[in-house]
Structure 1
Amino acid sequence: MNVLVWNENRHEKTNPVVAENYPKGIHGAIAEFLQEDEINVKTATLDEADHGLTDEVLAETDVLVWWGHKAHGEVRDEIVEKVQKRVLEGMGLVVLHSGHFSKIFKKLMGTTCDLKWREADEKERLWVVDPTHPIAEGLGQYIELEKEEMYGEHFDIPTPDELIFISWFEGGEVFRSGCTYKRGKGKIFYFRPGHETYKTYYNPEIQRVIKNGVNWAKPTNSATPVYGNAQPLEKISEKANV
């Protein structure tokens, strides 16, 4: 399986806390633990040519992992169109944390994807509400994070096909933190944790969820639907004119 981890890679260059947390970038940290499962992992960032999302790269990508925050508007629309096309063709997409506001996620959802937020070093408890789902494999009843950014409802997304995690925050809010969707032949998993000033992506349980999500989202070997005018498969009997 070929996985591409995309990160805008801006906070790492401007915020010393983020640079200390993720010396190889958030993309580097995620790629590192995904490689533990013998997955073929590459990375791409915003400032590369075509944001690192060339036709050739996208064509060979089975699952795209996306992290963005402060530079959503800098992602070129024609690149977003290409990513959407690949998702509809069957490429998996795992959207992390503030990627909820990325152009590609909003395009695939068709809504604002807006929410409440607060940075206050709050405890987050992610409850597993679908323990039978493959993305929850290997987890207990919940994941507890000592400090994270709060995201709160209402989260302006379509009703998920499947809801796997609901977060509770120390300040009282709740949030749909693990949602799946299908668009065309592609599968999409949104997973909430991962604010850049915390070391969330070093948490073994968070890593397990992302690994599970990548494996769940990988393409399946299914037939591509054919659309448009269709010839009958069987002979249609002649009908008497009435």
Structure 2
Amino acid sequence: MTSQPLRITIWNEFVHEREDPVVGKLYPDGIHGAIAASLREKLGEAAEVSTATQDQPEHGLSAEKLAATDVLYWWGHAAHNDVSDEVVDRVQQRVLEGMGLVVLHSAHDSKIFKRLLGTRCSLRWREVGERERLWITAPGHPLVSGLPSEYIELPHAEMYGEYFDIPQPDDVIFISWFEGGEVFRSGCTFTRGAGKIFYFRPGHETYPIYYDPNIQQVLANAAMWARPSGVTYVGECRNPQESLSPIEKRD
């Protein structure tokens, strides 16, 4: 029997690309479009990739859309507070049920990431376009499969620095070093309910980071790693700290 394609949704607030000509020129189809194109190329028939943006009804994340999503990518920066709490509740519930979530760059400050982690997720930052080296700290992990070196180097990046106010990750996959001397846990995994979460730091809107082949490889790996595990959770999460219990495993 042929396995079903992995159903991926790329969500983007889609603000910078339409308001800043520099960003619009760099990402003419939106950051979500660039990521979707790279995933389609790398995953081929193994995945069905769609996109959603904040300006759509229900932010493009209706109950039906989320029910048909195995892995959700989330990019946000300028409009975190404009995301409906009802939609955040809906996404949280789906993660607890087993949907994978890939949180990108400045989405560390998104409602959904802070809700799932239960902390401020605050950090230090500096935007000067300095060099970044992301060292692999978990060699052999599926998230770094296919990378040709023990690190990824980006010539221009926004600095994110410690302290990063997150709970202890399940695994730290990358630690970044920046020219200014700071370091940062740039690739972290978490488990909430039956869902896997991967936070991946690179991706500032004014740099062509999502066109970098190594970054694209990590994003493709993330889809396969975060896919639902087969554990089914039932019930409704009524507060950010509530966990749901597994009741069965599917074949």
| TM-score interval (norm. to shorter) | over 0.9
Query: TM (normalized to structure 1)?
Result: 0.92
Match of 1:76 in 2: 84
CA distance in 2, matches of 1:2, 1:68: 21
2:209 is aligned with 1:204: no
The one-letter code of the counterpart of 1:219 is P
Contact 2:132 2:156 (C-alpha < 8 Å) held by counterparts: yes
CA distance in 1, matches of 2:153, 2:203: 13
Match of 1:20 in 2: 25
Match of 1:9 in 2: 14
The one-letter code of the counterpart of 1:198 is Y
SS class of match (1:125): strand
How far has the Cα of 1:222 moved from its partner? 3.0
CA distance in 2, matches of 1:98, 1:124: 16
Equivalent of 1:143 in 145, 148, 152 = 152
How far has the Cα of 1:223 moved from its partner? 4.9
How far has the Cα of 1:221 moved from its partner? 1.9
SS class of match (2:77): coil
Superposed CA deviations along residues 16-65 of structure 1, whole A, max 9, x for unmatched, are 11001100000000000111112200000000000000011000000000
* Uncovered stretches (5+) of structure 1, i.e. residues with no partner: 229-242
SS class of match (2:102): strand
Equivalent of 2:161 in 139, 143, 152 = 152
How far has the Cα of 1:110 moved from its partner? 0.2
Superposed CA deviations along residues 141-171 of structure 1, whole A, max 9, x for unmatched, are 0000000000000000001000000000000
CA distance in 2, matches of 1:204, 1:177: 17
Match of 1:104 in 2: 112
Q: Which has the larger radius of gyration?
A: 1
SS class of match (1:99): helix
Structure 1: 4+ residue segments shifted above 6 A: 225-228
CA distance in 2, matches of 1:200, 1:2: 24
CA distance in 2, matches of 1:25, 1:97: 15
Structure 2 matches for 1:1-242, cutoff 5 A? 1-36=6-41, 37-38=43-44, 39-139=47-147, 140-224=149-233
CA RMSD of aligned residues (A): 1.3
The one-letter code of the counterpart of 2:161 is G
Match of 1:238 in 2: none
Superposed CA deviations along residues 111-164 of structure 1, whole A, max 9, x for unmatched, are 000000001110000000101110011111000000000000000000100000
| Percent of aligned pairs sharing the same letter | 61
Query: TM (normalized to structure 2)?
Result: 0.89
Match of 2:248 in 1: none
CA distance in 2, matches of 1:148, 1:172: 14
CA distance in 1, matches of 2:28, 2:232: 43
How many correspondences in the alignment?
Answer: 228
SS class of match (1:18): helix
